[in-house]
Amino acid sequence: MSHRYPESHVLYRSLARDYPLIVRGQGCWLYDETGREYLDACGGAYVACLGHGVPEVVDAVADQVRRVAFVSGMSFTNQPAEALADELAALALGDLSQFYFLSSGSDAVEAALKLARQYWVERGKPDKDTLVALTPGYHGNTMLTLSTGAREHYKKYFRPWLIEVPRVPAPYAYRCPCRGGDPACPRCSGRALEETLARIGPDKVAAFIAEPVGGSSTGAAVPRDDYWRTIREICDRNEVLWIADEVLVGAGRTGTWSALEPYGAVPDLQVMGKGVSGGYAPLAVVAAPRRLTDVLAHGSGALLHAQTFSHSPAMCAAGLAAVRHLRTHGLVARAAAMGRVLHERLEPLRRLPHVGDVRGRGLLAGIEFVADQESRAPFPRSERFTERFLAAAERQGLMVWPNTGHADGVNGDLVVLAPPYVITKAEIDEIVVRFERALGDMRPRDR
């Protein structure tokens, strides 16, 4: 059977390719219906952090579904939601003590943005209605999250429905003129936010949103050690809420539960997703402090964001089992240790043709491709370098995550690695071997 549009009744995410049909997963590996194996070096979409096929997580979800799969969060609470909130509170940064459960990262980021706006309105400051975000950046595909993202090719068809969001250049040393070497650089230090707030007027700004470590949009770019402390100070002084989007980089991906832990800065709102359930059910989380939620409790009485599957027992059971599995098996510490191995093994890739940079933290690594390594000039988008590499990697049985457009909004090619935390040294070596083979096997007509 062909797994391709329109031969199948599935409306696929791409309507121009054949899809392998995956029938089984184990650890870091996926197997299709023909028996072919794929090394899942990106956790599907940064999701499968526990590895595929963990029996105790599967059993916990199945047991909850047998007892009660769904109740409305409007009418009831449930045991998994209460227990998961307690688990997350024990891991939380600073005063982030209240947790709102949703079924996707985009939806959770949307809820956090709406919470920020609702907070200011109920505080009696309705003029604070502007959002500020980084470029490059990505926060989801609902209309408000698409607005805050900086992927112009995602916005092309929907521009009339989007709001304008002022931009601050992301801490992306490889693409900064100073290359991360100037202590006073507004971009690398975070001071560019101050300039943007001054231009807009901080009395108009509700929130600033950013990923603590770059996700796919900047290919795992890691900011300076003082960057987030500077952002915290700027936001405090200007009465702007700071939203940390950790959908991709949280839940241990960068070697600490929160990607912000090494930086000594606590956001006003935090969003986690993807790895927080390990992919065993859709789940994302908004974390908020009482100093914000109390304003809502004493005003309208609710966060004005309704979603059918919020606080669902089945998805919260998956999150509870996943978080407990991470803690019981020390997988966050393992992600840090194996992350050091991953980055050590990836360093030799810099010698390969068209590899411009290799960067990241923990089990998150970005490899940026360039037409010229010295000048860092990107390939023209017409060459579709990332798409061709992706096809070559799949032929080698290696799954990586792509991104384009980060160099100048149109051009730019990179891939990101985010393997499960259970990956072994031998499997990391296999990633490198298959990556090199894929680079040498690229074909002009790929995709």
Each residue's pLDDT tens digit, 246-278: 999 999 999 999 999 999 999 999 999 999 999
How far is residue 136's CA from residue 254's CA, in Å, rounded to a whole number? 19
Contact (Cβ atoms closer than 8 angstroms) between residue 143 and residue 131: no
**Confidence at residue 445, expressed as pLDDT on a 0 to 100 scale:** 63
**Confidence at residue 443, expressed as pLDDT on a 0 to 100 scale:** 74
- Residues paired with residue 52 on neighbouring β-strands, in sequence order: 27
What's the CA angle centered on 27, arms 23 and 28, to 5 degrees?
A: 85
Dihedral angle computed from the Cα positions of residues 289, 292, 294 and 295, in that order, rounded to the nearest 10 degrees: 180
Least confident of 180-194, 228-242, 432-446: 432-446
Domains and CATH numbers, the chain: 22-53+330-440 (3.90.1150.10), 57-328 (3.40.640.10)
Confidence of residue 135 (pLDDT cuts 50, 70, 90): very high
And the tokens for 94?
């600073």
How far is residue 46's CA from residue 51's CA, in Å, rounded to a whole number? 11
**Confidence at residue 415, expressed as pLDDT on a 0 to 100 scale:** 98
In the chain, the percentage of residues whose pLDDT exceeds 90 is: 98
Question: What secondary structure letter does DSSP report for 379?
Answer: P
Instruction: Kindly tell me if the per-residue pLDDT of 43 is higher than 80.
Output: yes
How far is residue 189's CA from residue 194's CA, in Å, rounded to a whole number? 11
Mean pLDDT calculated for residue range 84-108: 98
Instruction: Kindly tell me if the per-residue pLDDT of 84 is higher than 70.
Output: yes
Instruction: Kindly tell me if the per-residue pLDDT of 447 is higher than 60.
Output: no
Tens-place pLDDT, residues 384-410: 999 999 999 999 999 999 999 999 999
Identify each DSSP E strand in 149-280 by its residue range.
167-169, 205-210, 241-246, 269-272
Contact (Cβ atoms closer than 8 angstroms) between residue 431 and residue 39: yes
How far is residue 213's CA from residue 246's CA, in Å, rounded to a whole number? 8
Q: Write down the residue that tokens 């997988």 correspond to.
A: 331
pTM for the full predicted model? 0.97
**Confidence at residue 2, expressed as pLDDT on a 0 to 100 scale:** 72
